Structure 1
Amino acid sequence: MIRVKVPATSANIGPGFDALGIALNLHNSFSFEEIPEGLEIIGCDDRYKNKNNLVYISMLKTLDKIGYKVKGIKITMDTNIPVSRGLGSSAACILGGVMGANGLAGNPLSKDEILNIATEMEGHPDNIAPALYGGMVVSVMEMGKVYFDKVNVAKGIKFVALVPDFSISTKKARNVLPTAVPYDDAVYNVGRVSILISALSNGRFDLLEYAVEDRLHQSYRGKLIPYFKDIIHVSKRLGAYGTYLSGAGPTIVGIIDNDNSNYTMGIKDYFNSIGLDWDIKELKLDLTGAVIERIK
């Protein structure tokens, strides 16, 4: 039996649109076991217990690339990453399937090959790369290949995910974006993403308030989320260094000091006052990334 553990991810971090992502210590686990025939999937909603399961699809595509065949497969899932909330649930499923297939076949693929195969399935590497390598990762694609580097993040902060009780599909979140942006907005984001990486690397967390600002996607996607601007304002008042839309949303993430003991309770009180039943998760960076083990 092969077991794969994959962390949640938060992409963009404000201005790093489709290029930046972090891994967080919230995980999905997937176990793969060859059986004499058929398909058995345990631990997920009934609607996903079939051949359209993303983990299964990713596993089959990878096995086909490797040239390894199985008669039947049993997949057991333990999922903690909210689905369609901007925390990399699809990337976790894809990566889990790719790594599971590689494990069943005896690990013929390198980590970089896994990255490229999973990114091909996902369409972009901003969630896949940090999920695989852990920490904060900057990544780009060139001629179908992913180029990436890990970014050191100074100690002293944690990430509070404010997870709504509704989902937004990535397709819908993409459709609200303009087909072109003003030159000034592009220049604005270049500056912000540069200072974001510098501030996180050097521990200049006081700069994050400005560094997470963005003009390429957050103002458009924020309109899909009730109280988006108000939550950003309240988050700042409660001491967050910076607050941004995670991936395509609708999850919002506040970056706070490790010693900030007021933020989570304060944001919970605010949600109660306006009738929002959102989940609040205090998270740390996952510096390891996805791991695989063989269980006898």
Structure 2
Amino acid sequence: MTSVRVKVPASTANLGSGFDTLGMALGLYDEVEARVIDDGLKITVAGAGAGDVPCDEGHLVARAIRTACEAIGFPLPGLELACRNAIPHARGLGSSAAGVVAGVAAAYGLAGMETDDRALQLAAEFEGHADNAAASLLGGLVVTWTEGERYRALRLDPHPDVRPLLLIPGESSSTHVTRQLLPDRVPHADAAFAAARTALAVQAITLRPDLLLPGTADRLHQEYREAAWPASLRAVRALREQGAAAAISGAGPTVIVLTQDGKLPQGVDLTGFDVRELPVDREGVQVSAI
């Protein structure tokens, strides 16, 4: 193909204690049109990040396309990109992973290939972990892990009654900064708690939505990163006290609430948050010829 259109979903990661392990795709999409040209690089960006992201070889989608093309042996003399971004940047909704997955999928599409396990490996290597990338690539709920240097992912279908609500604040957050707030070691009891609750979260999201509240409990990372988004963590605590399955989405500061009715409890102060219901995306990245 000489040109393709890519539609890639946002994602939420961690879902409580599933740190760097659990991810889920959400129905909010970036779109990229990629076209092979004779030489050079042309990039236009509309929507989130327009005017802020580079429009040269440093552009994330362009870098992902070139890396993937090299890996699969597809020659790319020149490239034209048109990006329309709906996923807000630096909010914990997987915008960078979506950009990487869009680039990898575009490279595969231009080469006339279907994405495969190597596509996940390429995308996850950009991020350093596979939770967001696997969710955007595969859709649904993903459980991710590593085997040596190999990234792996298992896709599961969330229960149809799971209705995510996103509380998106105006401020942004840096994954690099929030990771620096994490300790090198955690108490054994907290590690055991995280293992149990991560397993429970998978059961709750796929089969037993009545267990979403205990399944999204965390003692592994959120409290350590409170300094990065104190208002978001206050909202998580207040919502959980009212029985809502709330957690920080990815590196924050967005809060995700896994509901069964699309409603939030009354009386919780959510000033400063844009509340949006986003469905679970079940398709993952989609590639079509133009």
Is 1:95 aligned to residue 131 of structure 2? no
**Equivalent in 84, 105, 118 of residue 111 of structure 2:** 105
State the Cα deviation string for residues 106-143 of structure 1 (Å, max 9, x = none): 21x64212111111222111111111111001010112
Q: Which residue of 1 aligns with 2:140?
A: 135
Higher helix share: 1
Question: For 2:181, which of 176, 181, 186 is the aligned residue?
Answer: 176
Q: What is the aligned counterpart of 2:211 among 194, 207, 211?
A: 207
Task: Work out which of the residue numbers 6, 9, 12 in structure 1 matches 2:11.
Answer: 9
Task: Please show how residues 150-161 of structure 1 align to structure 2 within 5 Å.
Answer: 150-161=155-166
Q: RMSD between aligned alpha carbons?
A: 1.9
Structure 2 counterpart of 1:57, one-letter code: R
Q: Percent identity?
A: 35
How do 1:185-224 and structure 2 match up within 5 A? Answer: 185-203=190-208, 205-224=209-228
Q: CA offsets per residue over residues 67-115 of structure 1, 9 Å max, x none?
A: 22223211011111111111110101111111111111221x6421211
Partner of 2:252: 249
- Cα distance, 1:38 vs. partner? 1.7
Inter-partner Cα distance in structure 2 for 1:8 and 1:198: 22
Q: Which runs of no fewer than 5 residues in structure 1 stay unpaired? A: none
Contact 1:238–1:266 (CA under 8 A) maintained in structure 2: no
TM (norm. structure 1) is: 0.90
Q: Does 1:282 align with 2:277?
A: yes
- For 1:271, what is the secondary structure of its paired residue? coil
Q: TM-score if structure 2 supplies the norm length?
A: 0.92
Deviation at 1:227, TM superposition (A): 2.5
Aligned 8 A contact 1:243 1:252 in 2: yes
Unaligned 5+ residue runs, structure 2?
none
Structure 2 counterpart of 1:68: 74
Q: CA distance change for structure 1 residues 35 and 92 in 2, over 3 Å: closer, same or farther? A: same
CA distance, structure 2, for counterparts of residue 25 and residue 161 of structure 1: 11
Change (3 A) 1:39 1:212: same
**Residue identity matched to 2:14:** N
After superposition, what is the alpha-carbon deviation per residue over 1:187-242, rounded to whole angstroms, capped at 9, x for unaligned? Answer: 11111112111222222x332222211111111123321323431244246663x0
Contact conserved, 2:63 with 2:103, CA < 8 A, in 1?
A: yes
For 2:55, the equivalent position in structure 1 comes to 49
1:123 & 1:293 partners in 2: Cα distance?
A: 28
SS at match of 1:97: helix
